[in-house]
Amino acid sequence: MKKAIPANGKIAKDAKETVQECVSEFISFITSEASDKCQREKRKTINGDDLLWAMATLGFEDYIEPLKAYLQKYREGDSKLTAKAGDGSVKKDVLGSHGGSSSSAQGMGQQGAYNQGMGYMQPQYHNGDVSN
């Protein structure tokens, strides 16, 4: 959070706690959708691709390409990436300066690969609900 504000800016404790609560809810939301997919497919293990699928299904498409690039580098054993992953940070050269904008995905030359190459579904909206 500190990186997003001016150097002399401060963040109140309640703001940090609120963001932490939001992050926890987001993780639960995505994981629940991925878990449902795995149960339908009679699998017990949720993998990174399942989480990316869940994010796309739930409307978080803008984050897919940079996270897909991160996952690929992680799987390839990028030592810089795995060292950073342990301390909770994510390398800017993977996610881009905006943490997941479509411009960073375009810069990586992977736009469109998620839906075309990986066989993921686009979310379907019916009366405000998301369905598979």
Mean pLDDT value of segment 122-132: 43
Q: What domains can be seen in the chain, in order of their start residue? A: 13-81 (1.10.20.10)
Phi, psi of 41 (to 5 degrees): -90, 5
* Percent of the chain predicted with pLDDT > 90: 57
Mean pLDDT value of segment 17-33: 97
Which tokens in the block code for residue 60? 């978080």
CA angle 100, 105, 109 (to 5 degrees): 165
pLDDT tens-digit readout, 5-18: 999 999 999 999 99
pTM above 0.85, yes or no: no
Give residue 95's Cα distance to chain centre.
10
